[in-house]
Amino acid sequence: MERNSPYKSLSRRQEKNLLKAAEAALRNEFQSPERAGCPYSTALNRLANRRSPLTESADLVDHIATCSPCFVEYSRYRTAHERRVWTFSALGCAAAAILLYLGSSLVFSGWSGQPSSKEVARSAEQPRELFLDLRYKGVTRGAPDPQDNDAPSRLPRSKLALSIYLPIGSEVGSYEVGLFSPKGEPLSGARGEARLENFMVILPVEMDLADLSPGPYELGIRRVGTLWNTYSVLLD
């Protein structure tokens, strides 16, 4: 059986009480009213702010441990230094939290800075109204259309409010419209509700083609849930 040792470790409470007693003794038991041989206040301040290495201040530390006035003055400087450190740390954490919040807000909102003048102008720009007649596209040349049905339709590179005349036989309902590169890559898309007007099925959609390069593309149109029908278009 293990014997009880008289040198057991102190509990946290006992250790705290011991340190309080030692501090009280340092503040009161080593009075030096005349401060004879005491270091200058600047030396105590430098040590309290850790601007004087402890390894080079052994004599100063020994003096503080045996001089109540110097210990009190050193403690005052040390408390002020720790308060400043805590304040700067709290401000740094608050600034980091604000930056993190702003950064996450910018990421989730998809905004990375002030909008350019070009973006502001485009957002304020009214879409250009245009009619795109596809009624006879893909039918035989005997159809009553004076133009070449196989020629690509031409569209301007701008923000458009399209009224698409769907091919004869199309039904009303929800449609999807997509613009594809010659390789089949989707570049722009929109949805709209086709309606019957004057015996024609018309699909209104808005598409922004301003950032695309001029050249040939494929315009895909399909009723929701069905396959794409594609038509050749040329962006000017």
Q: What is the CATH number of the domain that holds 142?
A: 2.60.40
Whole-angstrom CA distances from 123 to 119, 126, 158 are: 6, 8, 12
| Residue indicated by tokens 């399209």 | 162
Domain-located, residue 114:
no
Q: Report DSSP state, residue 115.
A: P
The three-class DSSP label of residue 110 is coil
Do 179 and 207 contact (CB within 8 A), yes or no? yes
**How much is the pLDDT for 231?**
92
Mark whether 126 and 204 lie in a shared domain: yes
Average pLDDT per 10 consecutive residues for the chain, totaling 236 residues:
48 59 62 70 78 68 77 80 79 78 58 56 75 77 50 90 92 94 89 91 92 93 91 92
Domain-located, residue 112:
no
Mark whether 136 and 65 lie in a shared domain: no
**How much is the pLDDT for 126?**
85
**How much is the pLDDT for 54?**
60
Task: Give the number of other CB atoms < 10 A from CB of residue 176.
Answer: 18
Mark whether 95 and 126 lie in a shared domain: no
- What the block records as the tokens of 146 is 């004076």
Mark whether 98 and 196 lie in a shared domain: no
Do 215 and 231 contact (CB within 8 A), yes or no? no
**How much is the pLDDT for 120?**
56
Query: Any idea what the Cα angle at residue 131 is, between residues 117 and 189, rounded to 5°?
Result: 55
Domain-located, residue 182:
yes
Longest Cα–Cα distance in the chain: 121
Q: Which domain holds residue 44?
A: 12-104
Domain count for the chain, please give it.
Answer: 2
**How much is the pLDDT for 136?**
84
Do 200 and 167 contact (CB within 8 A), yes or no? no
**How much is the pLDDT for 142?**
43
**How much is the pLDDT for 173?**
93
Boundary-marking domain end, from 104, 139, 155: 104
Domain-located, residue 36:
yes
Domain-located, residue 6:
no
Boundary-marking domain end, from 70, 104, 138: 104
**How much is the pLDDT for 133?**
93
**How much is the pLDDT for 28?**
63
Boundary-marking domain end, from 104, 135, 162: 104
Domain-located, residue 195:
yes
Mark whether 138 and 72 lie in a shared domain: no
Domain-located, residue 18:
yes
The three-class DSSP label of residue 90 is helix
**How much is the pLDDT for 143?**
43
Mark whether 20 and 98 lie in a shared domain: yes
